[in-house]
């Protein structure tokens, strides 16, 4: 079995590869353009694995990507290549259009040509997306389902919504065997420190102000990255071709609550310092077009595919906090690359 993973040096990608590589029957081919938030160092220990191959390729580069695709002849493709930071999409939408829309379009064109020529059976393309394509909820709204209307509000989420629609269209028109997942906010070790949880942890480590947008009441549905990885593998192996699956763990927290939980852990861990980390919390001007709430209805993946997870958010959050504390030098270097 040969699996091609695009964007495999990102946060989800490195965790997925570390998991899949344990299966000695699978060969992994990883392509990544290596941007500021790529983490090749996370895969240093598997570089010499005979079942792992990395190639520096931007899927926006159609010709180069196509040559590599036809050379390796994958059985399955997992598309993780995407720009994902909302703030960056507001500052510079161009790169999001190139990577998330045109990059996905290139992948679909190549898959169509590949299947037309090779007639490969049992081929699958898993396109990994986000709950942000559905837009924003209020506190009383029901959680997003697979049938929720798309209503994206940022350049990032609209580019991802566009890519989702392209994937669906290529399945309907060209019969590409696809699967789509829309996942809630991830967290865990190795996440690039521009995202909310590592930002809060970094500020606590350095005892610097923790910037919270607006009033901090914006709500997100959080999932530990390893739960997301298990869900992706489940969808790839058992999902019904042409279907979309929402991935979440019913764990909603507002940003202020999340910051307080992390600060409380630091207070407990370093109680001898007699420093109240909650005093670091500060409020800054709200993000443009800031979505109020995301929430995932995960009944489909639970009922149809048997997705299970443990309700251990605090344990996983502590694992994450301690990983960043133990990797302060890595964190410092990555913060400089922003």
Judged by phi (left if over 0) then psi (alpha if -120 to 50, else beta), residue 306 lies in: left
Domain ranges in the chain?
A: 2-187+223-252+293-311
* Catalytic annotation, pick one of 68, 105, 156, 294: 156
Q: Please write the tens of the pLDDT for every residue from 76-119.
A: 999 999 998 898 899 999 999 999 999 999 999 999 999 999 99
Q: Check residue 306 and give its pLDDT.
A: 97
The pLDDT score that the predictor gives to residue 126 is 98
**Cβ count near 192 (within 10 Å):** 19
pLDDT score recorded for residue 210: 98
198 and 39 Cβ atoms separated by less than 8 Å: no
Residue environment code for 18-53, b if the CB has 16+ CB neighbours within 10 A, otherwise e: bebbeeeeebbbbbbbeeebbbeebbeebeeeebbb
pTM: 0.96
* Residue from 58, 132, 227, 291 carrying the catalytic annotation: 132
Concerning whether 131 is annotated as a catalytic residue, the answer is yes
The segments of the chain whose pLDDT lies below 70 read 336-338
Catalytic: 309?
A: no
For this structure, is 75 an active site residue? no
**Cβ contacts of 121 within 8 Å, gap of 6 or more:** none
Contact assessment for residue 221 and residue 291, using Cβ atoms and an 8 Å cutoff: no
Kindly name the residue from 131, 194, 221, 227 that is annotated as catalytic.
131
Spell out the residues 6+ positions from residue 296 whose beta carbon is closer than 8 angstroms to its own.
131, 143, 144, 182, 183, 184, 221, 246, 247, 248, 250
pLDDT (0 to 100) of residue 219: 97
Rounded to whole angstroms, the Cα distance separating 153 from 66 reads 32
Look up the CATH superfamily of 2-187+223-252+293-311.
Answer: NAD(P)-binding Rossmann-like Domain (3.40.50.720)
Q: Note the pLDDT of residue 338.
A: 54
74 touches 118 (CB < 8 A): no
């Amino acid at each position: 079995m040969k699996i091609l993973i695009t964007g495999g040096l990102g946060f989800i990608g490195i965790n997925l590869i570390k998991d899949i590589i344990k299966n000695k029957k699978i060969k992994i081919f990883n392509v990544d353009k290596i941007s500021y938030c790529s983490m090749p160092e996370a895969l240093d220990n598997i570089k010499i694995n005979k079942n792992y191959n990395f190639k520096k390729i931007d899927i926006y580069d159609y010709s180069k990507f196509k040559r590599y695709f036809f050379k390796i002849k994958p059985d399955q493709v997992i598309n993780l290549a995407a720009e994902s930071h909302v703030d960056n999409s507001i500052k510079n939408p161009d790169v999001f259009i190139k990577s998330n829309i045109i990059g996905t379009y290139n992948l679909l064109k190549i898959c169509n040509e590949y299947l037309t020529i090779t007639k490969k059976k049992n081929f699958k393309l898993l396109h990994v997306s986000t709950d942000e394509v559905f837009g924003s909820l209020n506190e009383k709204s029901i959680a997003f389902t697979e049938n929720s209307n798309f209503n994206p509000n940022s350049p990032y989420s609209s580019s991802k919504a566009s890519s989702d629609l392209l994937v669906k269209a290529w399945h309907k028109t060209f019969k590409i065997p696809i699967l789509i997942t829309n996942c809630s906010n991830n967290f865990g070790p190795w996440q690039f420190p521009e995202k909310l949880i590592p930002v809060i942890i970094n500020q606590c480590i350095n005892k610097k102000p923790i910037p919270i947008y607006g009033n901090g009441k914006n709500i997100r549905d959080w999932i530990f990255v390893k739960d997301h990885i298990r869900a992706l593998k489940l969808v790839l192996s058992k999902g019904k071709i042409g279907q979309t699956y929402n991935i979440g763990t019913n764990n909603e927290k507002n940003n202020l609550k999340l910051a307080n939980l992390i600060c409380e852990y630091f207070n407990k861990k370093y109680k001898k310092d007699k420093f109240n980390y909650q005093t670091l919390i500060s409020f800054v001007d709200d993000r443009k077009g800031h979505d109020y709430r995301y929430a995932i209805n995960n009944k489909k993946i639970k009922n149809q595919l048997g997705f299970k997870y443990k309700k251990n958010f605090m344990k996983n959050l502590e694992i994450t906090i301690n990983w960043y504390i133990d990797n302060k030098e890595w964190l410092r270097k990555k913060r400089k690359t922003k």
